[in-house]
Amino acid sequence: MSRTGHETDADKRMVRRAFLSVRSGLRAEDVRDAADALTRHALELPELTHARTVAAYVSVGGEPGTLALLDALRARGVRVLLPVLLADDDLDWGVYEGGHSLARVRYGGRMTLLEPTGDRLGPEAVTGADAVLLPGLAVDARGMRLGRGGGSYDRVLARLERAGADPALVVLLYDSEVVDRVPEEPHDRAVHAVVTPSGVRRFRTPG
């Protein structure tokens, strides 16, 4: 018997709570050590080694740290795009110019994000990226990613598909967040790879 959309949504909420609870218990040094290891592995990815433009994000809270990775990519001459949350939860994009170019933006009682302060490039800018680094809470053996539930990156992935773009899709997670299976809905899309502090796991090849 197939599950209804309502049941799947409830399953996702329950699983999200479990992963967020584990992240909330991480010590600062654990997050820092994980970020160092994750950065080393990510920089060895051929998809990032050869990329000219990478769409990424600034980690917040207990998320696997990304700032060192962003700086390393920029030092290589990569154009790094960072998201700006819009009122409808879609994402605009701006260029990362270093830590000084980030502003802390609070969105009501929901969250505080670090966003680029420079020119806005428009939501379509992501379609020119060679690789897209995605936030998430888990990924399963099929490469299906569990996001936080806001839908912003579902829109990004749909936009890429409409444009016929096929950048490398890479999710950054902790080792314990790679699982057998996550709840899936029809609009969900598989990623190409996951990077964790212990290494890289591939699910499919870009292109």
Annotated binding residue 143? no
- 207 located within any domain: no
- 109 located within any domain: yes
Annotated binding residue 151? yes
Tokens of 171: 């999710």
Annotated binding residue 1? no
The total number of structural domains in the chain stands at 1
**What's the pLDDT at 2?**
41
Mean pLDDT, residues 98-110 taken together:
86
- 175 located within any domain: yes
Give me the domain span that covers residue 147: 5-202
β-pair type (145-146, 199-202): unpaired
Annotated binding residue 199? no
Please write the tens of the pLDDT for every residue from 146-196. 988 788 999 999 999 999 999 999 999 999 999 998 888 777 789 999 999
- 149 located within any domain: yes
- 13 located within any domain: yes
**What's the pLDDT at 206?**
66
Residues 6 or more apart whose Cβ sits within 8 Å of residue 92: 83, 84, 86, 120, 121, 122, 123, 125
pTM of the predicted model as reported, rounded to 2 decimal places: 0.90
- 170 located within any domain: yes
- 85 located within any domain: yes
- 80 located within any domain: yes
Annotated binding residue 63? yes
Residue type, 27: R
- Label residues 85-104 b or e (16+ Cβ within 10 Å = b): beeeeebbbbbbeeeeebee
Annotated binding residue 105? no
- Determine the Cα–Cα distance for residues 155 and 7; give it in Å rounded to an integer: 22
Residue 73 has pLDDT above 60, yes or no: yes
DSSP string, 44-64: T-HHHHS-SEEE-----TTSP
